Amino acid sequence: MAKSLHENDYLSVTLNDKGYVRILQKTGGVVIIPMLGEKFILIEHQRGNEVLLEFPRGFLEAGESHHEGGLRELKEELNLDAVSHSILGELRTDSGLIRDNIAAVKCRLNNLDGIVLQHSEGVLAWRELTFSEVLNEVKSGGIKDNFTLASLMLLVAQKD
């Protein structure tokens, strides 16, 4: 029988019979890929002691679909509304440790009017980058967030 180590509204952490830690992400999550024309909107996000350049992301709320969660997170983190959106695919954080349900959602924007950052969640700034500039950030180590990197791969796969 698994021993509960921690639990909240979003996660349950247990120690299984073999002594392995397991994390259950209860509601799932979304990575939002905001696009204005051919440019991507990324955020500078305070994560512990470092600032990461990444796509906005967050947990789903109970009963919320990936589509709904993506639109809500876009509104919460940047105060933007999408004119269209599509799910690019699913992501697994660490399949040996975490059971999750995460999707990458591409959101098309008409403009950046009214952009407001969610400072209370550690969002410090936003950047508008071309695909080439995003790839240069990956090459230089400026982007190292696994959700952003995996979502970029889904974008690359779509181009074929």
* Per-position pLDDT tens, the chain of length 160: 789 999 998 889 999 999 999 999 888 999 999 999 999 999 999 999 999 999 999 999 989 999 999 999 999 999 999 999 999 999 998 888 888 889 999 999 999 999 999 999 899 999 999 999 999 999 999 999 999 999 999 999 987 5
Angle at 160 between CA 106 and CA 104, to 5 degrees: 20
- The residue count for the chain: 160
How remote is the C-alpha of 144 from its chain's centroid? 13
The pLDDT, as a whole number, for residue 10 is: 85
Fold of 28-159: Nucleoside Triphosphate Pyrophosphohydrolase (3.90.79)
Give the pLDDT confidence score for residue 56 in this predicted structure: 97
39, 80 contact by CB (below 8 A):
no
